[in-house]
Chain A
């Protein structure tokens, strides 16, 4: 298909701003009882939330993006059980503003709260509590799926089970989620008891991780990817639990939640700044262990505090490489990959390492599996893309797979092997929906 690039709408990039693929048109859907007039659509479309997917799974070049973020009402909330039903375009930010004062919290959240409820389902997102809570999709009790033929399917683990499993982690391809219902977890305060522990190398990470998962529902680690040799894999381990009234010292006053803007679209992130950042980050903590009470914003969303940080990689954009490898071969694969990254000289600001638990996901294409996951960012360049291809080999050897929500470059053949439900899933794709990601992985 040839696309006239001059008329494309450039206001809807992906989070990594790579690849640069723009829609011909953006439509808005605002009221869930008034379906879009699909028969008037001149091209295929893709439902779109806040565009926080890093690569092309939230893009559709030359097609129609259907922005659902105005569909953001709460439908019902049961104070006793903590079950909330809301329209799909509502953001996690809005949900938190609603839930936290009422003593509840999201059951699972990724590292940004600027995502939509539907996007959280479509990517079956995970967070720091994967080993104790599974993915976000594990907490979904029900949702409504609108197909482009006008059918509205109520999906749950009991009803329309197949569409339920295809839509969770289904990348928005199986239809439009109009509303969803999930069970919140109780959280008497907005605060968390948090401990940060420095570790000197990868082995120490695994030691701390093992004991932490027994007593803390939330764990994650930041790795200094510039460290080599005996320091390889050094970093800071972060673990926490919901603060408890009477046990923890809860502050009276809520901190201000305002992101400091990062408007400069110049390549601020380069080898020198990254090296310095990683050094500062590792050394900001002098003591082996610190502990304290943290509001949920810095605990879960440290980067949301730096508005537009994704632009700091410059105009070319950036890619994130996130993989998971099974535990058995995982330690060795992670070590090899860190060695490759640190010796490449291509460095990354924040490298995140954690382990996934064994709660089975609800979706056909869900990413997490029992194992170790590592996420690393690179500015887009010929070298970084070449490095990613080398990392692919190690991930594949280790029996791992890559995360679609972060991807803009994996090979179609790899995708189809990583996600062996691929063919089964394809049956549930809405005939009028596609994405640039989906088109890409059909090739090669």
Chain B
């Protein structure tokens, strides 16, 4: 069982709903994120659920790439070691508002793609030196195929998924687990502005699914699992037809 857990983007609902299941006596959570008060709220919640845990709060902005390495050093120093890293931060901008503005696009890429790759890379180096460890990253089903309505977020997540695939192959021999989580549509703050749909899942259900995927050590986990089928169908549509669908 994981005992020393670094969560980046710890105030996200999916990170919180996942962490609840890891909260067991003796576990130390290192909660990293941009806003201290939010992290404190999460820390209080986890501590109320299980008094025999430790939590540390660490303020960091995903876009401060220079500080990423220090984050891992500090987390390892405070917890004595790290055995699980969960990367969960992200944003979902309204595509039509940013699709013609390269500054906005690059910023979205910074948050959803390059910072995730940077953090994953530092985690990989740390685990490689340690000789063990698990990295779980929240990518998205949106990364499985580019769609007109969502290709900026989607392509950023797609790059993350491919990066993790390669990293997994590289680190397999060292016994390090790389877990790609692909949540489907989840009713969170991020999607609160989107119209209702029966495809939406509740954060608590998805958090439980992410926890199970990490515990069972899956390579790639669609959460909920039926998204694997949905995405298989979506990926199977020929591009000549797909481009005419307004998805």
A residues with CB within 8 A of B: 11, 28, 30-34, 67, 70, 73-77, 79, 84, 94, 98
* Interface: B229 (CB within 8 A): no
Whether B13 pairs with A70 at a CB distance below 8 angstroms is yes
- Chain B 43-65 residues near chain A, CB threshold 8 A: 44-45, 48-49, 51
Taking a contact as CB atoms closer than 8 A, the residue among B38, B45, B188 that contacts A31 in the complex is: B38
Whether B192 pairs with A31 at a CB distance below 8 angstroms is no
Min CB distance B129 to A, Å, is 36
- Assuming the contacts A11-B196, A31-B38, A94-B204, asked whether A73 and B189 have C-beta atoms less than 8 A apart, the reply is no
* Interface: B237 (CB within 8 A): no
* Interface: B149 (CB within 8 A): no
Whether B41 pairs with A98 at a CB distance below 8 angstroms is no
Min CB distance B121 to A, Å, is 31
Q: Quick one: closest B residue to A32, CB to CB?
A: B41
Q: Quick one: closest A residue to B11, CB to CB?
A: A31
Q: Quick one: closest A residue to B196, CB to CB?
A: A11
* Interface: B174 (CB within 8 A): no
* Interface: B169 (CB within 8 A): no
A-chain residues with CB within 8 Å of residue B37 when the two chains form the complex: 31, 33-34
* Interface: B42 (CB within 8 A): yes
Whether A76 pairs with B48 at a CB distance below 8 angstroms is yes
B residues with CB within 8 A of A: 13, 16, 37-38, 41-42, 44-45, 48-49, 51, 188-189, 192, 195-196, 204
Min CB distance B206 to A, Å, is 14
B-chain residues with CB within 8 Å of residue A34 when the two chains form the complex: 37
Whether A70 pairs with B204 at a CB distance below 8 angstroms is no
Whether A33 pairs with B41 at a CB distance below 8 angstroms is yes
13 contacts between A and B (CB under 8 A): A11-B196, A28-B192, A30-B189, A31-B41, A32-B41, A33-B37, A73-B42, A73-B44, A75-B48, A76-B48, A77-B48, A77-B49, A79-B51
Inter-chain pairs besides A31-B41, A67-B192, A70-B192, 7 sampled, C-beta below 8 Å: A30-B189, A31-B38, A34-B37, A73-B42, A75-B45, A76-B44, A84-B48
A-chain residues with CB within 8 Å of residue B51 when the two chains form the complex: 79
Min CB distance A311 to B, Å, is 13
Min CB distance B35 to A, Å, is 8
Q: Quick one: closest B residue to A71, CB to CB?
A: B41
How far is B4's CA from A251's CA once the two chains are assembled, in angstroms?
35
Whether A11 pairs with B48 at a CB distance below 8 angstroms is no
Q: Quick one: closest B residue to A11, CB to CB?
A: B196
- Assuming the contacts A79-B51, A94-B204, asked whether A73 and B192 have C-beta atoms less than 8 A apart, the reply is no
- Assuming the contacts A32-B41, A76-B44, asked whether A70 and B49 have C-beta atoms less than 8 A apart, the reply is no
How far is B44's CA from A366's CA once the two chains are assembled, in angstroms?
32
How far is B79's CA from A217's CA once the two chains are assembled, in angstroms?
48
A-chain residues with CB within 8 Å of residue B48 when the two chains form the complex: 74-77, 84
Min CB distance A335 to B, Å, is 44
B-chain residues with CB within 8 Å of residue A75 when the two chains form the complex: 44-45, 48
- Assuming the contacts A31-B37, A31-B41, A70-B13, asked whether A11 and B189 have C-beta atoms less than 8 A apart, the reply is no
Min CB distance A102 to B, Å, is 9
